[in-house]
């Protein structure tokens, strides 16, 4: 069966919404299970788990994208959603297996890569930006609502019900792909046989990164992206655990924080970003976003009270304008035939940071002894956790040392970004890449490295 109706963006939107809604429900239970499973080195183990998952996703994304060109999108949508959601029921069956499967699932946890290729198959080039924006907005919307729902159900009915509900939604997503999602890649667009060769260049995750040094402006942009996104990736992996276990946030407060931050980020990336781009220009918007990120990370690093976290969260929403501004700068200054190459380099660097960032944050938390001696105490009737005597193993001048390290990294990114010219023509040699893509691509879905590989709000954590 080919599914219901003709392929559309709405099929992709529903797949993304159901997957991340299921994971959003588990935000609060996951934080509790993580600390119960690894009471001594919670942040270190969290960093290693998310780091292994991120690195495996970075290594496997190009190969899965190339295979989907041969075998079709539907089968790989099913594969990636299944393996991404496979750990969910294990949370209550065996926490150790739960975290082990999460790490290994990174090999297939690249749903966005396949979804964006699906969208590219069925949209014209002038429609693609709006379609990608719809998918990214759906991703954000699922995380705005689901953590609060999961926290409420967990408090009233217990975490077991939340895990069962998340498992049911994941199964619904799998059934929706099997029954309703039509294949977007027609047979005539695929190679002649399933045995069509896939070259190492297609499967090489470092292929786009090898071109970084061929243009000085591209090199500056890529260094800026690396230095600014490395702390961001680490922050996404550990920040909600930090709020819950160290700052004393209740489950409901963490859910509310995610919702407010998500809404403010959407506003910042749409209304505020367009106003800034028109009024102060592209480069100055990047510099302003990096400045907000430095302020946010420093505030997280030195903040010791819950209200400081809320204030810094508002600043964090403004810092989310940086990456869209970088992408816009590249799209305006690169030649038409260079877009995929340069965007692919940026996407590759962000993918690498998704593996390195969480592990780095976990290690810094570990060497600064930011851990708890005991489990959180029961929540008070007012909704806050009673944790005054359980803050840290030892008093520290810097409550959140990794965030301060991140602020220093972004400061270096700001200094590098000062040297990026406002207007230039990027020139990256890509003849081999174009020849290679021409042999396996098709007119509706050119598989440029990095094109249609990643949403605006990346990656499965917030």
| pLDDT for residue 393 is more than 60 | no
Instruction: Give me the helix-helix angle, 42-71 and 73-85, nearest 10°.
Output: 160
pLDDT of residue 335: 65
pLDDT band at 451 (very low <50, low <70, confident <90, very high): very low
Does residue 162 or residue 323 have the better pLDDT?
162
Mean pLDDT of 218-228: 89
Alpha-carbon span 247 to 214, nearest angstrom: 45
> Of the given ranges (11-25, 170-184, 336-350, 402-416), which has the lowest mean pLDDT?
336-350
Mean pLDDT of 265-293: 87
pLDDT of residue 397: 56
Neighbours of 75 (CB within 10 A): 14
pLDDT of residue 135: 78
For 1-185, the fitting CATH number among 1.20.1250.30, 3.40.50.9100, 3.30.465.10, 1.20.1250.20 is 1.20.1250.20
pLDDT band at 57 (very low <50, low <70, confident <90, very high): confident
pLDDT band at 201 (very low <50, low <70, confident <90, very high): low
| pLDDT for residue 351 is more than 70 | yes
**Residue that the structure tokens 């590219």 belong to:** 120
Q: Which two tokens stand for residue 239?
A: 């920040």
> Of the given ranges (157-161, 333-337, 349-353, 382-386), which has the lowest mean pLDDT?
382-386
Most confident of 74-78, 109-113, 448-452: 74-78
pLDDT of residue 338: 61
| pLDDT for residue 216 is more than 60 | yes
Alpha-carbon span 283 to 280, nearest angstrom: 8
Strands (E), 268-374: none
| pLDDT for residue 16 is more than 80 | yes
Alpha-carbon span 106 to 49, nearest angstrom: 10
Does residue 1 or residue 319 have the better pLDDT?
319
The domain limits of the chain are: 1-185, 209-372+399-422
Average pLDDT over all residues of the chain: 77
Predicted confidence (pLDDT) per residue in 255-274, tens digit: 888 888 888 888 887 788 88
| pLDDT for residue 139 is more than 70 | yes
Mean pLDDT of 343-353: 76
pLDDT of residue 337: 52
The model's pTM is: 0.73
pLDDT band at 425 (very low <50, low <70, confident <90, very high): low
Most confident of 76-85, 202-211, 242-251: 76-85
By the 10 Å C-beta count (0-12 exposed, 13-18 middle, 19+ buried), 89 is classed as middle
Most confident of 65-69, 134-138, 410-414, 432-436: 410-414
pLDDT of residue 189: 53
pLDDT of residue 455: 40
Mean pLDDT of 87-98: 89
pLDDT of residue 341: 65
pLDDT of residue 454: 41
Alpha-carbon span 414 to 421, nearest angstrom: 13
pLDDT band at 391 (very low <50, low <70, confident <90, very high): very low
| pLDDT for residue 347 is more than 60 | yes
Mean pLDDT of 122-126: 74
Mean pLDDT of 104-113: 82
Alpha-carbon span 427 to 415, nearest angstrom: 23
User: Are 1-185 and 209-372+399-422 the same fold in CATH?
Assistant: yes
Across 423-461, b (16+ Cβ under 10 Å) vs e yields eeebebebeebbebbeebebeebbbbbbbbbbbbbbbbb
Q: Per the omega criterion (within 30 degrees of 0), is the bond before 345 cis?
A: no
pLDDT of residue 308: 86
Superfamily of domain 209-372+399-422: MFS general substrate transporter like domains (1.20.1250.20)
pLDDT of residue 14: 92
């Amino acid at each position: 069966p080919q599914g219901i109706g003709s392929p559309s963006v709405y099929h992709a939107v529903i797949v993304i919404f159901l997957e991340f809604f299921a994971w959003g429900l588990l935000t609060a239970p996951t934080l509790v299970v993580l600390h119960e499973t690894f009471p001594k080195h919670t942040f270190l183990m969290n960093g290693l788990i998310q780091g292994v998952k991120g690195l495996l996703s970075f290594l496997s994304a190009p190969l899965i994208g190339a295979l989907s060109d041969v075998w079709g999108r539907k089968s790989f949508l099913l594969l990636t959603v299944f393996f991404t959601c496979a750990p969910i029921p294990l949370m209550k069956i065996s926490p150790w297996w739960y975290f082990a499967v999460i790490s290994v699932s990174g090999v297939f946890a690249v749903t966005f890569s396949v979804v964006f290729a699906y969208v590219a198959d069925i949209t014209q080039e002038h429609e693609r930006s709006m379609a990608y924006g719809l998918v990214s907005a759906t991703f954000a919307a699922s995380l705005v609502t689901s953590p609060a729902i999961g926290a409420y159900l967990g408090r009233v009915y217990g975490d077991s019900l939340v895990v069962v509900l998340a498992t049911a939604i994941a199964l619904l997503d799998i059934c929706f792909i099997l029954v309703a999602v039509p294949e977007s890649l027609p047979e005539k667009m695929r190679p002649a046989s399933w045995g069509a060769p896939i070259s190492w260049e297609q499967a090489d995750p470092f292929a786009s990164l090898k071109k970084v040094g061929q243009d000085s402006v591209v090199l500056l942009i890529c260094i800026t992206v690396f230095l600014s996104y490395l702390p961001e990736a680490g922050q996404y992996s550990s920040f909600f655990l930090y709020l819950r276990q160290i700052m004393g946030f209740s489950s409901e407060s963490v859910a509310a924080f995610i919702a407010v931050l998500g809404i403010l980020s959407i506003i910042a990336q749409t209304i505020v970003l367009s106003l800034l781009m028109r009024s102060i220009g592209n480069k100055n918007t990047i510099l302003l976003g990096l400045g907000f990120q430095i302020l946010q990370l420093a505030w997280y690093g030195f903040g010791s009270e819950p209200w400081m976290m809320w204030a810094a969260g508002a600043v964090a929403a403004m810092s989310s304008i940086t990456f869209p501004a970088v992408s816009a700068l590249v799209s305006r200054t690169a030649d038409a035939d260079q877009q995929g190459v340069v965007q692919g380099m940026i996407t590759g660097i962000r993918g690498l940071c998704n593996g390195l960032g969480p592990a780095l944050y976990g290690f810094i938390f570990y060497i600064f002894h930011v851990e708890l001696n005991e489990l959180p105490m029961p929540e008070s009737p007012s909704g806050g956790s009673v944790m005054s005597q359980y803050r840290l193993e030892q008093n520290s001048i810097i409550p959140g040392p990794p965030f301060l390290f991140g602020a220093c990294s972004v400061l270096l990114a700001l200094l590098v970004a000062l040297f990026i010219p406002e207007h230039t023509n990027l020139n990256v040699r890509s003849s081999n890449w174009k020849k290679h893509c021409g042999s396996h691509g098709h007119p509706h879905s050119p598989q440029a490295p990095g094109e249609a590989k990643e949403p605006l709000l990346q990656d499965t954590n917030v």
